[in-house]
A and B are shown apart, each in its own frame.
Chain A
């Protein structure tokens, strides 16, 4: 087999002798494996293909041994990890399709486009399965808001999400935002999208089958944008290297709207013609075509001269690795190409046959009449994976075993300080920029525990949330992982939904650091443990490593995106108090749990010590009680307790209403701020008191009443005080706006 030499490019010998491969991120050992397996030296183009496909971003070579341990099968799972998105059965022949993805590095260097293309990319993952996207959520982490640089990063990310999501017309319905200096230089922008399949039999997976079926390129033209994005996301930042900017891609939501609508239409109208679809994400045409071929047990041949281009003179390496946005790759049955192409052309889109499926398991590229790459498709797509060594972090080994004890001399003053912390205060300043209502299915909008989207034409609804507290995971990766999924479940349960599955974004530092690898390993084990107990399989997800600047890693942040199912939309419950005189109950007991809490951060400027306990049984029992009580129609409102503790949850239930509360608590002042997991506050009509108390037993404690006064009245074991509602509401509502001005 003769392989074209690409005269103007480095020869295969030069690629080896000048270690060009190392500049692209391949190690000497990996290059040796490639050379041995191929039985010859890879040429310039082939080396480029390996460097992208074997990058951590595309291959997960360092995280794979851990990801394999995820529990991802139960009676609902129609599609687990490994495809564009995971799929769960929700009855009536319908299925929910969802996935989360990180766009951290691109958002750090170019916040608007980084966040915008993050939204665009995850939406393509959803509609590539044949599903109609119905919602987007964002999980964001920034450093504390203290300088202009941070403000402009935040503004850029928020505008980027809004700019893309609003224009394409998929509602941005929720998510979570937190601020900590651990994210300085490494913001996190994780986007989750959810789609609906009306007919399970139209599920499309990215598997290329059938010799001589056509590979069709659809959507925007290919330019040089984002070349090496995959390898870019797999290395650490240095604050010096401005040149990394070249990896930024620009999104076009208008183009994607056309691609989305046409792709969904193609799947619906020609399900037998469209055999497979995959989004061209990281490593563009290369990864989408080679992965589809490998997963289908096939080979792929592409004629690169057919690829629609935006720039002249692009070489094979650039064509294959370009990360130009809004492009899809389809495998279409031989003879059915015209129908599919016409459908896209009618929408004003490029659709071109660029290659064929083969049966020889080779990955072959032609360019200007010559074969420029000829590789074993399995070798290309299956990077060697590494189980790395791990080590208990020193800060955990040396951590104090004692719980921090807050000093509360003036509870009112501390409450006002807590309310003004950006992690606690209202996020409306951000989410008001997102169209949360388009498609007119949003029942619970941003600001609640979880967003709720009804499924039109049925009584069903989906409850959606994202959660993780990186501080907890930092102090104890295993327990922090359990708590991340527990909090997500509490949020979903509060709306009246049964948690049915999760996706994740595993945001960590450099895995070659043994302490970071330990965090990854242990937090996944914690998530897995509680996912099984909740019966919420992990059906999709993504890994973002190397979130470090100048050797300082972020808090380990395994973001959990959860989907819950509501059978009867009349049972949807919100956090807001509903009526004067309703009884307020606290579900779950409160401990002296302060290490890693908002109050510890507020009072000591940092978090430290051994993380408090996680009582899995109490968590499950209390969640079950909430669901049973909502099902029985006993709850007027429900709200989970998380950062800031009981006092924050009580106030949040009243801020957006015309009500206040009187609370009489058998707790000390500090415990107002304790962050013991597994707790909720609920309200119950006075007439239903006996029924509810019988059902709840000692899991619930009556702590007060909803009032219609203009102040909150609180009595603890130590003190009695009142909070002016208007003042507290103002503090909570305006804090972020004030910091961002």
Chain B
């Protein structure tokens, strides 16, 4: 069993309006040293795979297919092996 922690963000060139709003809210709360905020999405996905490489391949495939819009988003992920499912 593998656990993938997948982080989805806008590509650097794309404006992130939520991030901008949060940044100005932080400034209003006097955290004026905040330079930039990027809001993204975070997924925790548990999957069965025969090895780490197969798991990685599958994650990259479905992230491109569904989790992100390749026109404007990008993703990074961390993959680790876990022992069993504890719900």
Q: Which residues of A contact B25 (CB under 8 A)?
A: 152
Q: When chains A and B are docked, how far (Å) is the Cα of A642 from the Cα of B28?
A: 36
A40 on the B face (CB < 8 A)? no
Q: Which residue of B has the minimal Cβ distance to A311? A: B87
Q: Which residue of A has the minimal Cβ distance to B24? A: A741
Q: Which residues of A contact B87 (CB under 8 A)?
A: 312
Q: Which residue of A has the minimal Cβ distance to B87? A: A312
CB distance from A234 to the nearest CB of B (A): 33
Q: Which residue of B has the minimal Cβ distance to A312? A: B87
Binding site for A on B (CB under 8 A): 25, 28-29, 87
Q: When chains A and B are docked, how far (Å) is the Cα of A152 from the Cα of B87?
A: 36
CB distance from B53 to the nearest CB of A (A): 34
CB distance from A158 to the nearest CB of B (A): 14
Binding site for B on A (CB under 8 A): 148, 152, 312
CB distance from B49 to the nearest CB of A (A): 27
Chain A contact residues: over half helix, strand or loop, or mixed?
A: helix
Q: When chains A and B are docked, how far (Å) is the Cα of A312 from the Cα of B86?
A: 12
Pairs A–B under 8 Å by Cβ, sample size 4: A148-B28, A148-B29, A152-B25, A312-B87
Q: Which residues of B contact A152 (CB under 8 A)?
A: 25
Q: When chains A and B are docked, how far (Å) is the Cα of A152 from the Cα of B29?
A: 11
Q: Which residues of A contact B28 (CB under 8 A)?
A: 148
Q: Which residue of A has the minimal Cβ distance to B30? A: A148
Q: When chains A and B are docked, how far (Å) is the Cα of A148 from the Cα of B25?
A: 9
CB distance from B23 to the nearest CB of A (A): 15
CB distance from B26 to the nearest CB of A (A): 11
CB distance from A310 to the nearest CB of B (A): 11
Q: Which residues of B contact A148 (CB under 8 A)?
A: 28-29
CB distance from B78 to the nearest CB of A (A): 27
Q: When chains A and B are docked, how far (Å) is the Cα of A148 from the Cα of B30?
A: 11
Q: Which residues of B contact A312 (CB under 8 A)?
A: 87
CB distance from A55 to the nearest CB of B (A): 33
CB distance from B17 to the nearest CB of A (A): 14
Q: When chains A and B are docked, how far (Å) is the Cα of A15 from the Cα of B29?
A: 46
CB distance from A101 to the nearest CB of B (A): 30
Q: When chains A and B are docked, how far (Å) is the Cα of A152 from the Cα of B24?
A: 12
CB distance from B28 to the nearest CB of A (A): 6
Q: Which residue of B has the minimal Cβ distance to A152? A: B25
Q: When chains A and B are docked, how far (Å) is the Cα of A152 from the Cα of B28?
A: 11
CB distance from B33 to the nearest CB of A (A): 18
Q: Which residue of A has the minimal Cβ distance to B25? A: A152
Q: When chains A and B are docked, how far (Å) is the Cα of A165 from the Cα of B25?
A: 25
Q: Which residue of A has the minimal Cβ distance to B29? A: A148
Q: When chains A and B are docked, how far (Å) is the Cα of A148 from the Cα of B24?
A: 12
Q: When chains A and B are docked, how far (Å) is the Cα of A385 from the Cα of B7?
A: 55
Q: When chains A and B are docked, how far (Å) is the Cα of A312 from the Cα of B87?
A: 9
CB distance from B20 to the nearest CB of A (A): 14
List the 4 closest A-B pairs by CB distance, nearest first: A148-B28, A148-B29, A312-B87, A152-B25
CB distance from B47 to the nearest CB of A (A): 22
Q: When chains A and B are docked, how far (Å) is the Cα of A148 from the Cα of B31?
A: 13
